[in-house]
Chain A
């Protein structure tokens, strides 16, 4: 079946450090890929997405590139801030009218 595997957290970084959160997927066909972010006490919200191979999604300084050859969609940011502290979820949508499949989430803590 379809699945998403994320690196386990928590990840703790100092402000201005480089961030990578790994995400790999298993899916039939050509899924769309997403990163969602959950700030403390809130629901999830879409951070970025990519709908086909080699697409790069970007938002708020975060980027992720859809790599079909490695079935990956790693999240990166060049310089994290304390306000980026949150839980990050990788997700895929494999077929129309089927539910999103989420990874287990990676907690990021950024310290000043």
Chain B
């Protein structure tokens, strides 16, 4: 089954404790992206990647890191989480090379930073 898998689904942590949210897709997609969703602000893009070893900043990259060492994986790293990073995070992927290609989303990771 074609899917984007994020882990964990829920995460509670404390300020400053490094964490990684994993994202994996099994569709051989070139394009992968991370979004955060906050009430009243909709979806905001954090980082995206057009292909292996290629990453670019989205609208809200501060406080986040990503890597794309393999085509299928695109982890999101918070080196020193802060409470303002409490949010619902989504990973997404697509082939990326055509305007009409749809995005496939993971089920989300609800992060709480205390």
Contacts and interface: CB of A to CB of B under 8 A. Distances in A.
B106 interface: yes
Contacts of B74: none
Contacts of B100: 32, 49, 51, 93
A44 B90 contact: yes
Interface string B90-114: 1010001111101101111000000
A34 B107 contact: no
B48 A102 contact: no
Interface string A88-100: 0100011111011
Interface residues of B, number: 23
B43 A89 contact: yes
B18 to A, nearest CB: 25
B58 interface: yes
A93 B102 CA distance: 10
A43 B105 contact: yes
Interface in A30-77: 31-32, 34, 36, 41-46, 49, 51
Contacts of A94: 99
- Chain A interface bracket (under 10, 10 to 19, 20 to 34, 35 or more): 20 to 34
A49 B103 CA distance: 12
B40 A104 contact: yes
Contacts, number: 53
Nearest to B33: A99
B50 interface: yes
Contacts of A31: 99
B99 A44 contact: no
Interface of B: 4, 33, 40-43, 45, 48, 50, 58, 90, 92, 96-100, 102-103, 105-108
Given A96-B98, A105-B43, 19 more contacts: A31-B99, A32-B100, A36-B103, A41-B108, A43-B4, A43-B90, A43-B106, A43-B107, A44-B92, A44-B103, A51-B99, A89-B43, A95-B99, A96-B99, A99-B33, A99-B45, A100-B103, A103-B42, A104-B41
